């Protein structure tokens, strides 16, 4: 059982950021402890990002004590580390429905709270957005500060550096670099640590201002002397820390600061706010802080699942199959974007480190890098979550498809992301990849057909190819309906009926929706309506697949196309166009059930498939409506 709110005596009294400003340092220490207990309890139960949120407790407290949200804007990069921010901005009770459709989002959302100024879900966007806010404030003459909190991992994404390059010195902008794993500034030796500590104290900045003021009032020599001292200071810092990238770009650099020292953080934040210029504040935190399992294994506690379905998931089977392929072919290599373990390639990376390329959170680079590998004779497989492939659309079109390079795209987490919401839905890949001529898209529904699809991809050397699969296990219902004979080699277009004369209607589908279609078929059967299901496991080229569909479709009776993907540009629309080209009367009996409003999400807890009208009940109702 979860703890009652009476177990959180201080946390339960925080209803808005203003409540924090009344607390003493001892009370802040107690509050930080309560927050960590609350996080561990609720995230372990509901699922979500744990280690990153445990690491930003003191930083979040300091931000809300120094700044006035929502007047001052706090933008969290990705947004997965904003749980503490949500607790302190009136959303504590909503954690009972964390990451449920219609419940509290695991990321920042503008429609959830005025304290979330910018929606997020993908990495490396916060600084660009913050820069936009700060530029608008400067144009309008508004007195407010915008803060972007960015983890060091996000700095591997190109957008951060594009935004840094565009920063102006004289903006009310504070970029907080939260370093929790990767060292960026080289702080070695006792003297370097002393300088770091000195620079985090209020007296340091006070003496610095007074010295500058005195020097500037010395006739003739004051300004040159101040400039000389400034150059000497920069030279000394560069000698200790190395060249500072951020100061070279014109930002005022502060830090590194202990990210778990609330007093030091508040001093640094107040000084950054006082300056009214663009500041890069470097803080160092520990992922999983205060919870031993997460401190020892931060990667394992990056994203926590409340429970795991029995059986191997598609990405786990893919990882094993891919390793077998690599053993047979020395040209096979993998390119990932900071998600090696999440895509099932952790063992492969250990056994074939020289053929495993983790490029960081840089999907655009990953695709063009793979294009170079392919052009040089290697066989690269770019393995990325479906939602993140969207970031490399230009590179897929121009750098790979236009040159007919045999790059293999493997899209994990295809379909709806029930816990993560619209930012993570893998529902657009079919729409944008089908724009590439002659690019086969494989959508295996079972582990056996996954192996066959990988084999087909390996032999496809005339251009790019794609493979998509959900974050799920194989459904025994799908297995028995389409592969009872164990003949996985026949994957492509399969029907669970022998003759069209036996069925009154047909449901056509692919991927994870196959089980939904079979559930609808069973329910309709109980009502005396005989329905057949057609499973497509290779979606493109649409024209070729359509010919196989026509051979299986009944001459009369409704056809419902079910798709756990975007309606616009989806497979259902493409097949409709091809069918109407050859079967004009199909327009009267063809209906598509797909996700028509992909960015919408429930306002109250609700089944996500029902919300998007692609549940088995929706299929059943659609068939009955067409029959009558």
The residues that are catalytic are 287, 363, 391
Q: Which of 58, 47, 155, 44 is nearest to 101 (CA)?
A: 47
**C-alpha–C-alpha distance, residues 331 and 325, integer Å:** 10
DSSP string, 325-363: HHHH-TTEEEEESS-TTTTT-HHHHHH-GGGEEE--S-H
CA-CA-CA-CA torsion for 393, 398, 402, 406, nearest 10 degrees? -70
User: Is residue 434 a contact partner of residue 624, using CB atoms and an 8 Å limit?
Assistant: no
**C-alpha–C-alpha distance, residues 59 and 150, integer Å:** 12
Up-side HSE of residue 250: CA atoms within 13 Å toward CB? 12
DSSP E strand stretches across 360-456 = 379-385, 408-412, 441-442
| Greatest Cα pair distance in the chain | 102
Three-state DSSP class for residue 205: helix
Degrees (nearest 5) of the Cα angle 359, 360, 362? 85
Beta bridge partner(s), residue 279: 174, 252
Q: Which of 432, 361, 421 is nearest to 121 (CA)?
A: 421
**C-alpha–C-alpha distance, residues 345 and 336, integer Å:** 9
Q: Please list, in sequence order, all residues whose beta carbon lies within 8 angstroms of the beta carbon of residue 324, skipping any fewer than 6 positions away.
A: none
Backbone angles phi, psi at 52, to 5 degrees: -65, -35
Up-side HSE of residue 602: CA atoms within 13 Å toward CB? 20
């Amino acid at each position: 059982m979860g703890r009652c709110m009476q177990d959180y005596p201080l946390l339960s009294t925080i209803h808005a950021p203003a409540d924090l400003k009344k607390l003493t340092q001892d009370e802040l220490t107690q509050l930080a402890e309560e927050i960590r207990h609350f996080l561990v309890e609720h995230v372990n139960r509901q699922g979500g990002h744990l280690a990153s949120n445990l690491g930003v407790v003191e930083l979040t407290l300091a931000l809300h004590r120094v700044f006035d949200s929502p007047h001052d804007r706090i933008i969290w990069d990705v947004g997965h580390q904003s749980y503490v921010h949500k607790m302190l901005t009136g959303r504590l009770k909503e954690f009972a429905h964390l990451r449920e459709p219609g419940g509290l989002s695991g990321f920042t959302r503008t429609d959830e709270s005025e304290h979330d100024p910018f929606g997020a879900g993908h990495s490396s966007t916060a600084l660009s957005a913050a820069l936009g806010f700060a530029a608008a404030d400067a144009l309008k003459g508004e007195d407010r500060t915008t803060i972007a909190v960015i983890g060091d991992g996000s700095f591997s994404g190109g957008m951060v550096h594009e935004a840094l390059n565009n920063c102006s010195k004289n903006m009310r902008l504070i970029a907080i670099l939260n370093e929790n794993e990767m060292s960026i500034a080289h702080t070695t030796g006792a003297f370097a640590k002393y300088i770091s500590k000195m620079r985090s104290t209020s007296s340091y900045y006070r003496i610095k201002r007074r010295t500058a003021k005195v020097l500037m009032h010395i006739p003739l020599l004051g300004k040159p002397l101040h400039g000389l001292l400034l150059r000497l200071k920069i030279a000394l810092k560069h000698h200790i820390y190395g060249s500072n990238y951020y100061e070279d770009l014109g930002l005022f650099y502060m830090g590194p600061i202990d990210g778990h020292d609330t007093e030091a953080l508040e001093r640094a934040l107040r000084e950054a706010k006082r300056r009214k210029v663009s500041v890069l504040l470097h803080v160092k935190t520990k992922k999983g802080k205060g919870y031993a399992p997460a401190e020892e294994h931060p990667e394992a506690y990056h994203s926590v699942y409340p429970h795991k379905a029995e059986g191997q998931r598609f990405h786990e089977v893919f990882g094993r199959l891919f390793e077998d392929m690599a053993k047979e072919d020395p040209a096979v290599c993998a390119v990932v974007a900071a998600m090696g373990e999440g895509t099932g390639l952790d063992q492969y990376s250990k056994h074939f480190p020289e053929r495993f390329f983790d490029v960081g959170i840089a999907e655009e680079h990953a695709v063009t890098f793979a294009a170079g590998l392919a052009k040089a004779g290697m066989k690269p497989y770019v393995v990325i979550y479906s939602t993140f492939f969207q970031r490399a659309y230009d590179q897929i079109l121009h750098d790979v498809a236009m040159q007919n390079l045999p790059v293999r795209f493997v899209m994990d987490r295809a379909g709806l992301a029930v816990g993560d919401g619209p930012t993570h839905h893998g529902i657009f890949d079919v729409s944008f990849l089908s724009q590439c001529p002659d690019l086969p898209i494989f959508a295996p529904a079972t582990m056996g057909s996954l192996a066959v699809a990988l084999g087909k991809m390996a032999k496809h050397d005339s251009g790019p190819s794609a493979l998509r699969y959900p974050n799920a296990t194989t459904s025994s219902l799908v297995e028995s309906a389409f592969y009872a004979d164990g003949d996985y080699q026949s994957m492509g277009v399969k029907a669970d009926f022998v003759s069209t004369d036996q069925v009154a209607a047909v449901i056509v589908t692919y991927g994870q929706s196959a089980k939904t279609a079979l559930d609808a078929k069973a329910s309709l059967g109980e009502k005396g309506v005989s329905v057949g299901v057609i499973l497509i496991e290779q979606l493109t080229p649409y024209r070729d697949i359509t010919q196989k569909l026509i051979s299986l479709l009944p001459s009369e009776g409704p056809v419902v196309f079910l798709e756990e993907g975007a309606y616009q540009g989806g497979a259902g629309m493409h097949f409709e166009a091809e069918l109407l080209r050859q079967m004009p009367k199909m327009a009267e009996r063809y209906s598509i059930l797909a996700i028509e409003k992909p960015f919408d999400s429930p306002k109250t807890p609700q089944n996500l498939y029902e919300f998007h009208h692609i549940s088995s009940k929706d299929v059943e109702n659609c068939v009955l409506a067409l029959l009558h």
